[in-house]
């Protein structure tokens, strides 16, 4: 008999950031998830949010998601669309998909632990595919708009010393002249050959974005990330017609249906799905495949220890996929992994280690709340 989900437990972990992401973001929140099947096997996953919504995501997991999932098959790809449809009344994406990722990741981990294979190996499991996994390229990244110029320059110098061939910085200062000065300073530090990306975090409207990009294009930008409000497709279409700077987006586009609208409109050059925000590995795979059909590069957003494993499973192309390493913000750097990291960064390359499942177990302060809903016979 096929094993079924017996219980789902959660634990909320608050993790102080070594480098605050701004005055209001001094920690991140992780909702650790543990799924147990009827054979007694366990899978470990997580949900994640850098600022708000952790308690709400945990509540969805402890109540609506657990009640629906317990008693059902452990196959994440079979369960995901049914569970997403069940949660749809509470929203098609955002909080619902962030919470849903907690179960999806735990189920993929369970599958990997059962098979004794890493997530990357599971995703690359295709007949005749005997090539080793890709070693993605890692780029240096910083949440640094609040840094004084000298501190920003020092960070750029650390990126160069670390061997990164590409780096990303924040823009969106109240005065455009400040952004120009900061981008110029970073470009001077990294030199002309390294790729430079900038991220506005949705701070601009259309006219401000056009003015800023006209002024900043001289610095040979690899991309502008989230120049506009993430869900404003008409504004992105207008911006595409008025700038030649490549546009990157996706961390705040939460469903494959919304992603497809942006891809069909031709307004995205680099797609950046966040594996937690879209709902886990299952929809991430669908979104990445959709991007490939449109000839659009996929650069997973944040969460290096997870994103790197996903990127390592991508089909081989002429260029390596880019994965993001925010300075001192990885799970390993924050000291919250109970086991060795599932990925190793060596200069600007990342390697997947030999481990079962996701390879992500957390150690932290005791949970603020915990819930486990036992299996019932009503499902």
Convert the pLDDT of each residue in 297-312 to its tens digit: 999 999 999 999 999 9
**CA 36 and chain centroid, separation:** 25
Active-site residue (options: 168, 170, 254, 355): 170
The pLDDT of residue 289: 96
- DSSP one-letter string for 318-343: SSPPEEEEETT-STTTTT-BSS--SE
Of 168, 236, 254, 301, the active-site residue reads 301
> Would you state the pLDDT for residue 198?
98
Tokens 């659009």, residue?
A: 296
Check: pTM over 0.85? Answer yes or no.
yes
- Per the prediction, the chain carries an average pLDDT of 93
Q: What is the pLDDT of residue 127?
A: 46
Query: How far apart, in whole angstroms, are the C-alpha atoms of residue 117 and residue 120?
Result: 8
Respond yes or no: is residue 88 known to be catalytic.
no
Coil vs helix vs strand at 368: coil
Burial of 210 (0-12, 13-18, 19+ CB in 10 A): middle
Place 370 in a pLDDT band, splitting at 50, 70 and 90. very low
251: left (phi over 0), alpha (psi -120 to 50) or beta: alpha
pLDDT of residue 364: 57
What is the CATH number that goes with domain 5-116?
3.30.390.10
Yes or no: is domain 137-352 CATH 3.40.50.720?
Answer: no
Q: What is the pLDDT of residue 130?
A: 63
Residue 50 pLDDT: 86
Residue 346 DSSP symbol: E
The model's pLDDT over 118-158, given as tens digits with 9 standing for 90+, comes to: 999 999 975 445 677 889 999 999 999 999 999 999 999 99
Q: Has 301 been annotated as catalytic?
A: yes
Which region, left, alpha or beta, applies to residue 47 given φ > 0 means left and ψ of -120 to 50 means alpha? beta
Q: What is the CA radius of gyration of the chain?
A: 21
Strand, coil or helix: what is 5?
Answer: strand
Give the start-to-end residue ranges of the domains of the chain. Answer: 5-116, 137-352
Tell me the pLDDT tens digit for each residue of 156-174. Answer: 999 999 999 999 999 999 9
């Amino acid at each position: 008999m096929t094993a079924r989900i017996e219980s789902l437990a959660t634990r909320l972990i608050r993790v102080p950031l070594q480098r605050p992401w701004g005055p209001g973001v001094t920690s991140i929140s992780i909702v650790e998830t543990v799924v147990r099947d009827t054979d007694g096997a366990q899978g470990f996953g997580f949900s994640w949010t850098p600022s708000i919504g952790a308690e709400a995501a945990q509540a969805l997991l402890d109540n609506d998601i657990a009640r629906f999932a317990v008693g059902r098959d452990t196959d994440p790809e079979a369960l995901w669309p049914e569970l997403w449809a069940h949660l749809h009344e509470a929203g098609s994406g955002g909080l619902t998909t962030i919470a849903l990722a907690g179960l999806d990741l735990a189920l993929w981990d369970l599958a990997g632990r059962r098979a004794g294979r890493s997530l990357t190996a599971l995703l690359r499991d295709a007949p005749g595919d005997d090539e080793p996994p890709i070693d993605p390229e890692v780029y240096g990244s910083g949440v640094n708009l609040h840094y004084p110029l000298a501190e920003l320059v020092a960070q750029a110098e650390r990126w160069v010393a670390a061997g990164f061939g590409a780096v990303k910085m924040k823009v969106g200062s109240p005065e455009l002249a400040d952004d120009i000065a900061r981008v110029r300073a970073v470009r001077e530090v990294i030199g002309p050959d390294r790729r430079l990306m900038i991220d506005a975090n949705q701070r601009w409207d259309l006219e401000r974005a056009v003015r800023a990009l006209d002024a900043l294009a001289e610095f040979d930008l690899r991309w502008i990330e989230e120049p506009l409000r993430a869900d404003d497709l008409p504004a992105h279409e207008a911006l595409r017609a008025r700038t030649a700077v490549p546009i990157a987006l996706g961390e705040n586009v939460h469903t494959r249906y919304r992603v497809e609208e942006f891809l069909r409109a031709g307004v995205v050059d680099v797609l950046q799905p966040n594996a937690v925000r879209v709902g886990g590995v299952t929809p991430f795979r669908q979104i990445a495949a959709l991007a490939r059909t449109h000839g659009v590069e996929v650069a997973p957003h944040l969460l290096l220890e997870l994103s790197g494993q996903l990127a390592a499973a991508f089909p081989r192309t002429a260029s390596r996929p880019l994965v993001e390493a925010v300075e001192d913000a990885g799970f390993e750097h924050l000291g919250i992994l109970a086991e060795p990291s599932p990925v190793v960064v060596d200069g600007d390359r990342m390697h997947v280690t030999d481990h079962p499942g996701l390879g992500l177990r957390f150690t932290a302060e005791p949970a603020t709340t915990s819930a486990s809903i036992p299996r019932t016979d009503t499902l």
